[in-house]
Chains A and B, each alone.
Chain A
Amino acid sequence: MKASLKNIIRLPNVFVTVFLVVFLCTVLILLCISVYRSCLSAEETLNQTTVVTMELTLKERLTRVETEDGGYEIVDLNHKLLDGQVLELLRAESRISELHYICNTFFFPADLLCTEAEYADLQAAAAEGGSFSRDTQLGLYEVGVAGCTREDLLPETLGVPKEDLTVTYLAGNGLEDGVLLPKKLYHGLGRPEAFLIGWYKAEGYGFRFDAPLPDYLLAHFEELKGKPAPPALSVPVCGYYTCGEDDQAATVMVANEKYWQSIYGAQDYYTLQENRQTFVRPDVDAFGEVGLAKIRMTTAYPGEVASIIGGLMDAGLGGDDYLITASDYEYKFVLAQMESMGNFSLVILCAAVLFGLLLLAVFLAYAVRKRQREIYILRALGYGEHGIALSFAFEFGTVILGALVCGVAAAYLFGNGICGMISQRAMENARSAVENLSPVAQSMANSETLRDQLESAVDRYLETDLSLAYGVPFPIYGILLGTAAVFSIYAYGLTRGIAKRNMMQKEG
């Protein structure tokens, strides 16, 4: 044994090579495993912390068609699904965590739903042919977004005393749009100017509720009948219309989609995208935007956006009427960074494993063959095959084990530092990607948007905790040790094979 240890020093060429191969491969393998695992866990964190917003848009909804008798008919272009059904589909998808309905507001004939007497009227109207028509007081309960043709009708419309009403007009608007709210509510709002109400002067619309009363509405009345009649029906609010920017109109509560289908005569509400001028629409068409316009959805499964969308389309949404877009650019960007780093480390890992195994196997075979003469002399001196093979195996095994231990120690000591350097570089690369946004992209019309998008994606990436850190699961050390043992056995076998060979045959 002592002689074997001495041999290690005496044969520096052989053993330094073996040592270096094993040492470098060990360090590489451990580092790559660490980087790969860090990437995986960062991906997991990313998946767990990222919420992707998707937006479902209705391509076109209702249109108004002129009838022969000069009237208008509202035609639902979306024959396939009712809004409620769309929502049902969305709700059935368990990966969607939040639904945020964006609709055009409409005025709900809330007072119709208030009293038994009114209900009796409704029933009668329904019995007469299912059509219901009357002048209505409009107002959305609790929030009270309202509109009417004449301002002096407002108190009546909203059911509040005149002195309690605040009307704010927006300057320069031909259609006299304004905010019409009960004072109480008006003062409670952070941005009352966001409550923009437009209304039509066209007669017959806006104040006239002229549509067949759907069954489910009747069913709803039926439900109410059994209960002690509340003085006012609280319409369940199911969503918000939100608009982020200051110059865009925003924030309207809408009623439960259960009632939507009945509100063809509602006033429309629409946002200003660029400037207030577009608010004025000469071809006033309230119907195009009644009801569900957009649904904002969120999912906590950013990686499954495509499958969610595909699933929804397959489930019946179809691509003709609805469009779903996902704002997952940032997620994808960050994920791509991690994946590419993870894959890169995996490639290096495989290369290190493969080259390490191959190199070591070949080199051991070469080194043992090179010592063939030594084996022969030892045999001639009366050393047994087993003994010679054992001492050779011990020599190689010791060096391999030593290199392994040094490799593990080096990886352990410097692993975090090296990993840190790698993440540093990765982040710098990401940063320079923004700076070097190619001239092609610069020249494109939407280069600003592109750049913004990329920048925020990079920010998101830099925020993501991709802290590459040294971390190797315990069994890996076991595997490394096992490999060392296998190579020792291999060296034993090689040596014994040469020693066993008939020395006389060998001589020829």
Chain B
Amino acid sequence: MSVLEVQNLCYDYVQRYGVTHALKGVNGVFESGKLYALTGRSGSGKSTLLSLLAGFDRPKAGKITLDGEDISTVKPSLYRKEKVGMIFQAYNLIPHLTAVENVLLGAGGKKSRLPSEAQAILRSMGLEEAHFRKKPSHLSGGEQQRVAIARALASDACIILADEPTGNLDSDTGSMVVEILKDLAHRLGKCVILVTHSEEIASEADVRYRMSDGILV
């Protein structure tokens, strides 16, 4: 039972023409076994928060702890490899790799991961066998997201960060993806944080957070 905790998180984008205060003191707790929905207007800082949770950069102020341990004390790539699985809105998959190969890539350093295991994960995501050896360009959006989720699972990460994974999908497929994510939280005990615009999808979540102008409310 792990807990991801965020305290007074601030982040600025410094650019030539000025500074954007993307996060202005975000506080929040994310527990495993729950699906969190993060909503809010475009530009409110959702992606920024997710990126920080993924360890892509250090916050300007505040800290992120995983089970009480500050994640900045861990090598970011190692943290990402072992703790975090990420799913984006689109272009999740490496185009020249097959579905299975993409999933295997998620296993990262875990050399022991066999194609059969990757296939098992894919199967559990409801991807048809026929698609396993296909390149992403031959898969539908929903199928691609299943592969992306499978890949996030391949590393046994405890935190799944999904930045608008349904944004490019029709609502039926979208809700199917959300079902899967919910399943990940409830059945596999992952801590799933889902960024979405859709009220309908957000209502499926266990906990709903709303981002507004760099603040979590």
Contact = CB atoms under 8 A, between A and B. Distances in A.
B157 to A, nearest CB: 9
B48 A504 contact: yes
B54 interface: yes
Contacts of A373: 91, 94-95
A345 to B, nearest CB: 40
Interface stretch (B61-69, B78-86, B175-183, B198-206): B78-86
A10 B96 contact: yes
List 5 tightest A-B contacts by C-beta distance, closest first. Answer: A382-B81, A382-B80, A10-B96, A503-B56, A384-B77
A446 interface: no
Given A502-B57, A507-B47, A381 B13 contact: no
Contacts of B196: none
Interface of A: 7, 10-11, 373-374, 377-385, 502-505, 507-508
Interface residues of B, number: 31
B13 A377 contact: no
A383 B108 contact: yes
A11 B106 CA distance: 20
Contacts of B2: none
B151 A381 contact: yes
B155 interface: yes
29 contacts: A7-B96, A11-B96, A373-B94, A374-B95, A377-B91, A379-B56, A379-B77, A380-B54, A381-B105, A381-B108, A381-B155, A382-B77, A382-B80, A382-B84, A382-B108, A382-B109, A383-B81, A383-B108, A384-B77, A385-B77, A503-B51, A503-B56, A503-B57, A504-B13, A504-B48, A504-B57, A507-B47, A507-B51, A508-B13
A503 to B, nearest CB: 4
Count chain B CB atoms within 10 A of each CB in A7, A379, A385, A504 and give the residue with the most.
A504
Contacts of B84: 382
Contacts of A378: 94, 105
Interface string B71-99: 00000011111101010100111111100
Contacts of B108: 381-383
Contacts of B96: 7, 10-11
A382 B94 contact: no
A327 to B, nearest CB: 69
Contacts of B78: 382
Contacts of A7: 96
Q: Interface centre among A377, A380, A507, by most B CB within 10 Å? A: A380
Contacts of A503: 51, 56-57
Given A373-B91, A502-B56, A508-B13, A382 B51 contact: no
A7 B102 CA distance: 12
Contacts of A377: 91-94, 105
A380 B82 CA distance: 11
B52 to A, nearest CB: 8
A381 B57 contact: no
Interface string B23-59: 0000000000000000000000001100110101100
A10 to B, nearest CB: 4
A385 B86 CA distance: 18
Contacts of B109: 382
A11 B135 CA distance: 12
B31 to A, nearest CB: 22
Given A380-B88, A383-B77, 16 more contacts: A7-B96, A10-B96, A378-B94, A381-B105, A382-B77, A384-B77, A385-B77, A503-B51, A503-B56, A503-B57, A504-B11, A504-B51, A504-B57, A505-B13, A507-B47, A508-B13
Contacts of B80: 379-382
A385 B75 CA distance: 12
A13 B64 CA distance: 43
Contacts of B97: 10
A11 B82 CA distance: 29
A377 B151 CA distance: 11
Nearest to B55: A382
Nearest to B135: A10
A382 B13 contact: no
A383 B110 CA distance: 12
A9 B77 CA distance: 28
Contact of B82 (A10, A382, A507): A382
A464 B91 CA distance: 65
Nearest to A10: B96
Contacts of B56: 379, 502-504
A371 B50 CA distance: 23
A503 B48 CA distance: 10
A390 to B, nearest CB: 13
A374 B109 CA distance: 17
A502 B12 CA distance: 13
A385 B92 CA distance: 19
Contacts of A508: 13
Nearest to A502: B57
B110 to A, nearest CB: 11
B7 to A, nearest CB: 19
A384 B76 CA distance: 9
Interface in B107-158: 108-109, 151, 155
Nearest to B78: A382
Most A-side CB within 10 Å, residue of B52, B94, B109:
B94
Contact of B81 (A381, A502, A504, A505): A381
Given A10-B97, A503-B56, A504-B57, A381 B51 contact: no
Given A7-B96, A504-B57, A382 B91 contact: no
Contacts of A385: 77
A374 B82 CA distance: 19
